[in-house]
Chains A and B, each alone.
Chain A
Amino acid sequence: MLSEAGPALTAQRAGRTRPARRVLPWVEGTALVVALVVPFALGERTDLVTLATNVAILSLLAISFDLCWGLSGIMSFGQALFFGVAGYVIALVGRDLAFSQLWAMLPLAMLVGLALAGLFAAFLLLGRKAPTTIFVALGTLTGSYAAERLVSGWQYVGAGNGLSSVKLLQLGTYEFVEGTAFYFLALIVLVLVYLGARFLKQSQLGLVLAGMRQNEERLAFFGYRVQLFKALVFSLAGMVAGLGGALYSYHQGFIGPGNMGPGLSTTAVIYCLFGGSGTLIGPVLGTVAVEVLTYVLADIDAIKRIWPVILGLVLLAVVMFQPKGFLGLLVSDRERIGSYGRRRPGGS
């Protein structure tokens, strides 16, 4: 009953909650090693290097959603909006100003994502009354849908055909074309974003987000401006999505209405939930799994046609039977949520 219990009982209690060996660093390390050797292992298969590059870029979108949902409890069905708008902006700058220098365009894409997400946050999150999860989900979904419809009918941005022949990304006079160099560029960006998100998650601010996800109201009574924290993370997530959108646009040489609509926004949700939200590495692995499966099955006509249905059913099964994603099979809740204080001697 009281904590005057003897050391044996304390140890027993500690043993009950003693977390298993930490799994996430091993998963992260293994993923990084695999990512580093992939282009060399694939050799002449340039199509697979292109696929790996796409996976690295789409992982940014997945991390963007994980920052919202997994870390902060913001259900956003509109991450593709920030991804797509940034992709369009850099394509337009390339077309109209003939400029595509990496040192300026990637920060510009981040700024576009940040500013647009900030605007949405101000509208959806910063009201006097705390918005419900459904309100935010519908608000972001509507934004994503409206943007897709808007660009579909806007000739200046290519209407339904989108913008093709996007000017190649440059660093000085070097041009990044599809292939190993672009893959490593995308990987470097992904690793930097990942490390930034990991730093945020493990910081004292990460503790606030973890608390917010569990009981927003409680945190308001602590004196935290919960909606401001949410708006901040949502804006940062928009920035990450914007960065991904720019890389996607340069890599594909194309950006279209579908890259900012609910379809891609929902795919980001699938990446995240499939891999395991709140872990950061889970959404990256979810992206790998979904994109590789899609690539493999795209050659099988019978499956290709019903692949979206299969993907939908998989998502349904994950949500119903394994809501922590497949990484949830390996990672304990304790490790997923994180521990912020120092471990006591004799504690768990």
Chain B
Amino acid sequence: MALLEIRGVSKSFRTLRALEGVDVDVQAGTFHGLIGPNGSGKSTLLKAIAGAHFADGGTIVFDGHDITRATPYERARLGLALKFQITAVLPELSVYDNVLLAIQSGESLTRLLLSSSRRALDGEVTALLERFRLIDRADDLAGELSHGQQQWLEIAMALALRPKLLLLDEPTGGMSPEERRVTGSLLAPIKAQCTLVIVEHDLHFIRDICDHLTVLDQGRVLDHGDVATIQRSPKVQQVFTTRV
């Protein structure tokens, strides 16, 4: 059984049909890319999975639970984590505190009030900051980081939740080529930890890290398959050569 099963999902914004009858299966332990031209519905689908908005129709089943109408809180508790397209770090908190805030989300109210886990979680926070090359900036305010570093911090925060499924919305948006390369190298090792669904415009980036791709166009699934199959697909080539 797939970790994530999306069946017949549709979503409209007033008269605009952003998604129509979308079916996607995401297998556990894979990196799954959602690609398509601008306005194809990639980010809308990702937000419907994460709970940022609800699908109008269809079902979304995650790890055996129907999450179609679940709140973001409920989805997060089941093991879903989202990195927003627009960076949503907490700018007035330090980089360290941003990650601590994410890591401690599983703690009980009493333990939070008594600060029981502050010391115990320090090693985990430090390890994530080191892994995402942010340890030197640990005490700086998150709002003072460069755009690329804020994106890394976002990914670190999402991983801090120890998710089963990590949703990344354009993780390399606004990054320099060097930062994109580094981001790719930072993401590769997480395959051992969780499944990844990624929306990305940079087709080279997504081709390098994903096992499986779903191509969306005008709110529908145009094609899906492994990277090699999608690269050979005439339908996909036509869309990307005429509309991207």
Residues of A near any B CB (own CB < 8 A): 1-5, 10, 13-14, 16-17, 128, 200, 202-205, 207-208, 210-211, 214-215, 217-226, 232, 333-334, 337, 339-344, 346-348
Contacts and interface: CB of A to CB of B under 8 A. Distances in A.
Contact of A339 (B76, B94, B136, B149): B94
B101 A208 contact: yes
Interface string B61-99: 000000000011100110001101000101111101100
A128 B71 contact: yes
Given A203-B112, A211-B90, A347-B138, 13 more contacts: A1-B148, A3-B133, A3-B149, A200-B113, A204-B117, A211-B93, A214-B90, A221-B52, A221-B76, A221-B81, A222-B102, A223-B105, A346-B136
Interface in B79-135: 81-82, 84, 88, 90-94, 96-97, 100-102, 104-107, 109, 111-118, 122, 125, 133-135
B233 to A, nearest CB: 34
B113 A214 contact: no
A254 to B, nearest CB: 37
Given A2-B178, A220-B76, A344-B135, A207 B100 contact: yes
Given A2-B133, A224-B73, A204 B105 contact: no
Nearest to B149: A3
A340 B97 CA distance: 6
30 contacts: A1-B179, A2-B148, A3-B134, A3-B135, A3-B137, A5-B136, A13-B137, A17-B140, A202-B115, A204-B100, A204-B118, A208-B101, A210-B93, A211-B90, A211-B101, A219-B101, A222-B105, A222-B157, A226-B73, A334-B141, A337-B92, A339-B97, A340-B100, A340-B118, A341-B122, A344-B135, A344-B139, A346-B136, A348-B139, A348-B140
A54 B139 CA distance: 41
Nearest to A347: B139
Contacts of A202: 115
B73 A225 contact: yes
B161 interface: yes
B77 A333 contact: no
Interface residues of B, number: 56
A222 B112 contact: no
B118 A220 contact: no
B115 A220 contact: no
A128 B69 CA distance: 11
B96 A14 contact: no
Nearest to B129: A344
B113 A205 contact: yes
For A2, A204, A217, A220, the residue with the greatest tally of chain B CB atoms inside 10 Å of its CB is A204
A333 B136 CA distance: 21
